[in-house]
Each structure stands twice: as C-alpha cells, then as structure tokens.
Structure 1
Amino acid sequence: MSIGATFAVAVVFARGLLGIAQVGTARARGDGTHVLGPTRAGTCFPACSSVVTYGIHPILPQFH
C-alpha cells in the first residue's frame, strides 16, 4: 500500500512539474494552452502536500 501511495505522489508531483515546464513553450508558440500548465500545477502540488501532511500527521504526536 505505501509503495503504491509513494508512486502515486511521485507521479502527481511530476505532472505538476511538467505543467510548470510547459508554460514557457506554450507562450512561445502563442497558443492559448499556457493557462493549463499553472492550473495543473495548482492542483497537483496541493494534492501532494495534503497526502504528505496526512502521512506525517499520525507520527507527530510520538515526538511530544
């Protein structure tokens, strides 16, 4: 289960990076797809951070 979740977070994070990387090329081409990159990144990065926070949250009370 944890290997699958780790793989899924890595894939979603990579999709977010791909979205940011595609902004420059879309603007250089002049088409209207330059909005999709930040939108993809804006959904992928919070999803990754929420999964990581959900995984760390149960561990934190052990350190108090």
Structure 2
Amino acid sequence: MKLTVNGTAHELGGDGTIDALLDELGATKAHTALMVNGNVVPSEQWATTPLNENDEVEMLVFVGGG
C-alpha cells in the first residue's frame, strides 16, 4: 500500500496498521507521536488503526539531549 510518511513516498507491507508501519521504519514507539491525515492517533490505538492507500502520515520522534 502506498503512503506518504513525513512528505516521502513509502510502500507499506505488513498487516497495514500503524504498528506495522512503525515496526517497518524501526521507530521507537515510546518516543513517537503520530498523525494520520491531520488527526492525532493515540498510541493505544496504533495496533488496531488501519492505514489506507494514499494516507498521509506525520511522525515526530522525540530525542533527549541538551
């Protein structure tokens, strides 16, 4: 399935959920915030929220430091 992730085209495999996308991208889920088509999706819903063809996903990964 074709998605746009942070403005870049991405072909998603897996089961088509947000969890599958994050696993595919190697994201640290505990440090990630995510929006799909402009709507914030809480982390509790990632395993059950399906992604659809041409969805636009914005990910923010929080990094510590100073």
TM-score by length of 1: 0.22
Question: Relative to total residues, which structure has the larger helix share, 1 or 2?
Answer: 1
- Tell me: higher relative CO, structure 1 or 2? Use CA pairs within 8 A at least 6 residues apart: 2
Question: Relative to total residues, which structure has the larger strand share, 1 or 2?
Answer: 2
TM-score by length of 2: 0.21
